[in-house]
């Protein structure tokens, strides 16, 4: 959709800026990253070098697996031998890298004769593609987009940007982001495609669980041979009742899955599937689920594959942690108020222009935006200004507070509320004041039987409604400025009802104002009939009063 392209382009510029290292200090965060040495070391490296070196290293496993697929299917032979197959792999990776970030102009270094997937300073494969895409996706959640931009993106729906050889899709929801990256490659006699899907939870479920999934598939074909490597990674993290990540083995779990497949020139089908799971609690298990045709994994190759797999798993784990924790952004997404609506109300409702020493009961009720359920956890209230707030500190949600407003006229105060729970953080503020509001006695109501009535408006700076004629008539004023606005009139009686709308302006001094009313028309409804008329403009007198009697 052409009208969405500027938004996608601005996202890419913003997100790349969020991923690349800054010349200044590291951005402040509302909570420290988990005490995981791999995460800390990875962050320092990422800030110093940017994402490309790590993304290239994350691709070593796939280079190795693709090379084994090339050997098993006859693709290597079709390309003209080992050297040309490795050159095709390098060209393939460089093309993916150009698609993911910027044009790659460095000439690749010579590859060692004993190829093992490493030392390929020649671009990235699917896992590296996923890492860069994951960092881009994560920065959308971690302060890269404002709440207004999030709302705009949700309203627009899924976006897709298509280029000459690839496409990017982004679907931003209140609960997270789904990103799809696709690239078609044709290099050095190899045709192929790389596709990466990334999902990041912004908001936890009722158990406090957050999930990241990264799925990448790279396909290659040469002659009649073809093969594919799929890597799927799922990371789960949990929040505690204070909206903080649970540390240690009880706070995380993940699953790493490798699939290889291929079809040789003679039509023989090859397949291999291996999974590694780390459960909540730290217990790791792994198994080969399927193996057909890939007999080339001798003990030495298997040991090398295991080392590359463990390294790739660490890269995936690091990428997921960065996305979930907001380590490169302003804050973790669940801390921004995106996930929790902190509903506030007070008894009495009137908080502005109130009498001094008014006693209030304030209710703070955090609700998850995802499903509207109570979040549990705690609520903390912080008073700025006078007079007294009880209780102090954190209390269980839903929370009730007692507050007494300032003791003198013309004073202000506010209470900041923060809720914390497994569902995230909610923030809201209530303002109080005892300031004098512009109050007036209004003389203008013409009631049945003749005569005029006086009514009090205790705050004419905001919409107000007054009643007249023994309660049978009501007039609502909605100011557009301190000297103009609109009004509506409703009357019930005499076997029917009447209504009218119009505009008003004010002239005169602050002490005594003349209201000039213009009516669109007045309509009476009775006995199934409606009769309308346009009355002449009229006036009313507003006289300022000091005490409104509230």
- What is the Cα–Cα distance from 490 to 498, expressed in whole angstroms? 6
Q: What is the pLDDT of residue 39?
A: 62
Selection from 7-16, 142-151, 178-187, 291-300 with the highest mean pLDDT: 178-187
**Lowest-pLDDT range, 96-100, 260-264, 273-277, 288-292?**
96-100
Quickly count: other Cβ atoms within 10 Å of residue 353's Cβ: 20
351: confidence class by pLDDT, cuts 50, 70, 90: very high
Q: What is the pLDDT of residue 169?
A: 74
User: Which is higher by pLDDT, 21 or 80?
Assistant: 80
Cα–Cα distances in angstroms (integers) from residue 195 to residues 67, 179, 270, 295, 523, in the given order: 19, 11, 21, 27, 65
In the chain, % of residues over pLDDT 70: 71
Q: What is the pLDDT of residue 172?
A: 75
pLDDT at position 473 over 60: yes
Q: What is the pLDDT of residue 445?
A: 56
Q: State the number of CA atoms in the 13 A half-sphere of 537 facing the CB.
A: 9
pLDDT at position 143 over 70: no
pLDDT at position 224 over 70: yes
DSSP tally for the chain: helices H, then strands E? 9, 26
CA-angle at 222, arms to 217 and 226, nearest 5° = 45
37: confidence class by pLDDT, cuts 50, 70, 90: low
Quickly count: other Cβ atoms within 10 Å of residue 190's Cβ: 26
Q: What is the pLDDT of residue 247?
A: 87
pLDDT at position 34 over 80: no
Angle between helices 147-156 and 5-19 (to 10 degrees): 140
In the chain, % of residues over pLDDT 90: 26
pLDDT in tens, 145-182: 555 655 665 566 666 666 666 676 777 777 778 888 78
**Lowest-pLDDT range, 82-91, 194-203, 238-247, 294-303?**
294-303
- What is the Cα–Cα distance from 269 to 13, expressed in whole angstroms? 43
- What is the Cα–Cα distance from 196 to 232, expressed in whole angstroms? 10
Collapsing DSSP states into helix, strand and coil, what is residue 29?
coil
Q: What is the pLDDT of residue 99?
A: 59
Task: Please enumerate in sequence order all residues whose Cβ is within 8 A of that of 216, keeping only pairs 6 or more positions apart, or say none.
Answer: 126, 127, 129, 130, 194, 195, 196, 197, 230, 231, 232
Collapsing DSSP states into helix, strand and coil, what is residue 302?
helix
Contact indicator for 133, 196 with CB cutoff of 8 Å: yes
- What is the Cα–Cα distance from 359 to 392, expressed in whole angstroms? 16
Q: What is the pLDDT of residue 5?
A: 30
**Lowest-pLDDT range, 297-301, 350-354, 502-506?**
297-301
pLDDT at position 239 over 90: yes
Cα–Cα distances in angstroms (integers) from residue 465 to residues 455, 478, 486, 524, in the given order: 10, 9, 12, 21
Contact indicator for 215, 178 with CB cutoff of 8 Å: no
pLDDT at position 33 over 60: no
Q: What is the pLDDT of residue 146?
A: 57
- The DSSP code for 460 is T
């Amino acid at each position: 959709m052409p009208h969405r392209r500027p938004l996608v382009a601005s996202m890419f510029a913003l997100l790349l800026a969020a991923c690349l290292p800054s010349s200044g200090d590291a951005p402040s965060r509302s909570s420290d990253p988990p005490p995981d040495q791999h995460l800390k070391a990875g962050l320092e490296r990422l800030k110093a070098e940017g994402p490309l070196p790590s993304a290239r290293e994350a691709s070593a496993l796939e280079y190795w697996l693709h090379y084994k697929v090339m050997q098993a299917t006859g693709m290597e032979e079709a390309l003209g031998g080992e050297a040309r197959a490795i050159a095709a792999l390098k060209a393939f990776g460089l093309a993916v890298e150009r698609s993911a970030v910027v044009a790659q102009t460095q000439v690749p270094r010579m590859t060692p004769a004993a190829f093992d997937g490493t030392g390929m300073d020649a671009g990235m494969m699917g896992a590296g593609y996923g890492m860069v895409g994951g960092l881009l996706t994560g920065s959308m959640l971690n302060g890269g987009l404002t709440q207004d931009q999030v709302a705009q993106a949700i309203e627009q729906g899924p976006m897709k940007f298509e280029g000459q050889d690839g496409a990017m899709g982004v679907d931003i929801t209140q609960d997270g982001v789904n990103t799809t990256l696709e690239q078609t490659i044709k290099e050095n006699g190899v045709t192929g495609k790389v596709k990466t899907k990334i999902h990041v939870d912004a908001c936890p479920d009722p158990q406090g669980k957050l999930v990241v999934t990264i799925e990448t598939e790279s396909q290659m074909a040469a002659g009649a041979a073809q093969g594919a490597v799929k890597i799927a990674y799922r990371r789960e993290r949990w929040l505690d009742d204070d909206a903080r990540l649970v540390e240690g083995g009880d706070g995380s779990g993940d699953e790493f899955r490798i699939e290889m497949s291929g079809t040789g020139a003679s039509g023989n089908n090859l397949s291999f599937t291996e999974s590694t799971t780390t459960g909540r609690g730290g217990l790791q298990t792994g198994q080969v689920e399927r193996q057909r045709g890939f007999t080339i994994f001798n003990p030495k190759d298997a040991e090398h594959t295991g080392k590359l797999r463990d390294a790739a798993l660490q890269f995936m784990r690091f990428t997921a942690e960065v996305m979930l924790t907001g380590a490169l952004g302003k804050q973790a997404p669940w801390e921004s108020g995106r996930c929790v609506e902190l509903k506030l109300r007070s008894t009495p409702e009137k908080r502005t222009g109130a009498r001094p020493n008014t006693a209030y009961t304030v209710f703070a009720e955090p609700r998850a935006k995802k499903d509207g359920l109570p979040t549990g956890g705690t609520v903390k209230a912080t008073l700025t200004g006078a007079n007294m707030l009880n209780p102090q500190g954190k209390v269980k949600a839903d929370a009730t507070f007692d507050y007494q407003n300032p003791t003198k006229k013309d004073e202000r105060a506010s209470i900041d509320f923060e809720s914390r729970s497994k569902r995230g953080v909610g923030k809201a503020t209530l303002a109080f004041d005892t300031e004098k509001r512009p109050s007036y006695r209004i003389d203008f109501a013409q009631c049945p039987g003749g005569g005029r009535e006086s009514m009090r408006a205790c705050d004419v700076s905001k919409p107000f409604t007054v009643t007249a004629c023994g309660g049978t008539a009501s007039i609502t004023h909605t100011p557009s400025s301190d000297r103009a606005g609109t009004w509506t009139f409703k009357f019930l009686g005499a076997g029917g009802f009447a209504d009218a709308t119009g505009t008003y302006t004010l002239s005169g001094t602050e002490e005594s104002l003349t209201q000039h009313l213009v009516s669109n028309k007045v309509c009476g409804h009775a006995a199934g009939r409606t009769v309308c008329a346009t009355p002449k403009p009229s006036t009313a007198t507003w006289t300022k009063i000091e005490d409104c009697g509230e």
